[in-house]
A = this chain, B = another copy of it.
Amino acid sequence: MARTQREISVAEFFAKNRHLLGYDNASKALLTAVREAVDNALDACEEGGILPDIDVELSLSRQGSRPEGNGTDEGKNGKAASKRRSPAGVLDRYRLVVTDNGPGIVRAQISRIFGKLLYGSKFHRLRMSRGQQGIGISAAALYGQLTTGKPIRIVSRPKARGPAHLFELQIDTRRNEPQIVREADVDEFPHATGTRIELELEGRFAGGNKGIFEYLRQTALANPHAQIRFTAPGGKLPHVFARAVHEVPIQPREIQPHPYGVELGTLIKLLGATKARRVSAFLKEEFCRVTDRVAASILKEAGLPKQISPKKVVRGEAEKLHTAMNTVRIMAPPTDCLAPIGEEAMVEGLKKEVDAAFYTSITRSPAVYRGHPFQIEVALAYGEPLPGDQPARCFRFANRVPLLYQGGGCAITKAVNSTSWRKYDIQQPRGGTPVGPLAIYVHMASVWVPFTSESKEAIASYDEIIKEIRLGLQECGRRVGVHIRKHKRIAEAQRKADYITRYLPAIAEALRDILDLDEQETEQVATILADTLRRSRNF
A7 to B467, CA, bound (A): 34
- Known A1-B106, A5-B120, A452-B20; judge A73-B326 contact (CB<8 A): no
A389 to B118, CA, bound (A): 49
Query: Which of B75, B89, B146 contacts A263 (CB under 8 A)?
Result: B146
Of the listed stretches A8-16, A223-231, A350-358, A531-539, name the one at the interface; the rest are far from the partner chain.
Answer: A8-16
Contact across chains for A5 and B109 when beta carbons are under 8 A apart: yes
Contact across chains for A87 and B327 when beta carbons are under 8 A apart: yes
A146: B residues at CB distance < 8 A: 263-266
A149: B residues at CB distance < 8 A: 264-265, 268, 315, 318-319
Residues 1-29 of A, flagged 1 when their CB comes within 8 A of B and 0 if not, give 11011111110110111011000110000
Chain B, residue nearest A13 (CB): B118
A70: B residues at CB distance < 8 A: 463-464
A406: B residues at CB distance < 8 A: 409, 452
Residues 106-125 of A, flagged 1 when their CB comes within 8 A of B and 0 if not, give 10110011001011110111
Query: Which of B2, B85, B118 contacts A260 (CB under 8 A)?
Result: B85
Query: Which of B106, B121, B268, B367 contacts A73 (CB under 8 A)?
Result: B367
From residue A303, how far is it (CB to closest CB) to chain B in Å?
16
Q: Copies per complex?
A: 2
Query: Which of B20, B106, B147, B263 contacts A454 (CB under 8 A)?
Result: B20
A313 to B116, CA, bound (A): 26
A451: B residues at CB distance < 8 A: 17, 20
Which positions 81-116 of chain A face chain B at CB distance < 8 Å? 81-90, 103, 105-106, 108-109, 112-113, 116
A147: B residues at CB distance < 8 A: 263-265
From residue A242, how far is it (CB to closest CB) to chain B in Å?
28
From residue A218, how far is it (CB to closest CB) to chain B in Å?
20
A260: B residues at CB distance < 8 A: 71, 85, 87-88
Contact across chains for B24 and A87 when beta carbons are under 8 A apart: no
Q: Is A522 an interface residue (CB 8 A)?
A: no
Contact across chains for B462 and A19 when beta carbons are under 8 A apart: yes
A121: B residues at CB distance < 8 A: 1, 4-6
Q: Is A78 an interface residue (CB 8 A)?
A: yes
Q: Is A323 an interface residue (CB 8 A)?
A: yes
Q: Is A47 an interface residue (CB 8 A)?
A: yes
Contact across chains for B75 and A365 when beta carbons are under 8 A apart: yes
Contact across chains for A123 and B77 when beta carbons are under 8 A apart: no
Q: Is A145 an interface residue (CB 8 A)?
A: yes
Contact across chains for A125 and B365 when beta carbons are under 8 A apart: no
A330 to B329, CA, bound (A): 68
Residues 42-84 of A, flagged 1 when their CB comes within 8 A of B and 0 if not, give 0010010000000000000000010001111101011111111
For the complex with contacts A89-B326, A407-B408, 8 further pairs of A-B residues with Cβ separation under 8 Å are: A1-B109, A1-B121, A5-B109, A8-B118, A80-B332, A88-B368, A408-B413, A452-B452
